[in-house]
Amino acid sequence: MADKIANAFDAAARSLRTIVAPVVDENDSLASEQLRVVAGMLDFYRDRIAYEYPRKAYELSVYCTLADRLLREFPDAAAGLADALRTARAVADQPLAEYAALDHAVSELTREIGTFTHAAWDHDAGTGAAVGRLVLGESRRLTDLRRSWFLPQGGDPAPDSVVPLASLLALESEHLTVSIPQE
């Protein structure tokens, strides 16, 4: 089936490179640089746009896991975190939740996790550290995901250690209610 979104991105980038670039003053280094950056950005999002929804769903899944682990480990946590988790799960479990709903659930959950983290350190450093270890465990999954996401930009000092985005999301798909496109 024709991928019209990718086609549109391709056409836009090609337009910049073949029509616009030749008439930009080569002595205008700022314009030349930004033209190159914008065209590259169109290439990047052409290849990434199909994964944005699964990525957001994955992000929500990770934060739901973190909130759940925090609540199991610290059952006396403030009600705000439990409420946010309940709401987030209701969104995450919908087969076709709107993107904005996923995004909003992530925002609510991360704010409550942050509040909980600060409260834990205020209580005592030992509790803070215990909460911190749980936060780090799930944060690593998210930084791994983002390394995969940004891999085509070429800035990773150790690219061979990065799992391709489609593979990473597919590995995690059992936790998601969305299908993963192939790269």
Partner 1 sequence: MITALSGTVPVPTVRWVDDDAMWFPEPALVYSWEPGVTKPARAQSKIAGIGINFGPGLRENLAGQFVDHLARIHTFDIEKAQLDSYQIPRTGSVESALWQLNRARRVWEEDRGEDLPLLDLAAEWLEHNLPILDRVSLVHGDYRGGNFLFDEDTGRITTILDWERSHLGDRHRDLAWATLYPFGHLSEDGNQFLATGLLPVAEFFDRYEQASGLTVDPDRLRFYRILNGYQAIVTAYGSAYRVSKLGKSHQDVLLTGLESTGNLIAHQLVKDLEEVL
What is the binding site for partner 1 (CB under 8 A)?
30, 33-34, 37-38, 41, 63, 66, 107, 110-111, 113-114, 117-118, 121, 125, 128-129, 131-133, 135-136, 139-140, 142-144, 146-147, 150, 153, 155-158
Smallest distance from partner 1 to CB 95, Å: 26
Find where tokens 């780090």 sit.
Answer: 136
CB nearer to partner 1: pick between 53 and 116: 116
167 vs 179, beta carbon nearer partner 1: 167
CB closer to partner 1 out of 139 and 173: 139
Residue-wise DSSP of 29-88: HHHHHHHHHHHHHHHHHHHHGGGHHHHHHHHHHHHHHHHHHHHHH-TT--HHHHHHHHHH
Query: Which CB sits closer to partner 1, 3 or 64?
Result: 64
Is the CB of residue 92 less than 8 Å from the CB of residue 57?
A: yes
Report in angstroms how near the CB of residue 134 gets to partner 1 at its nearest.
Answer: 10
C-alpha distances out from residue 61 to 47, 51, 147, 173, Å: 23, 15, 18, 10
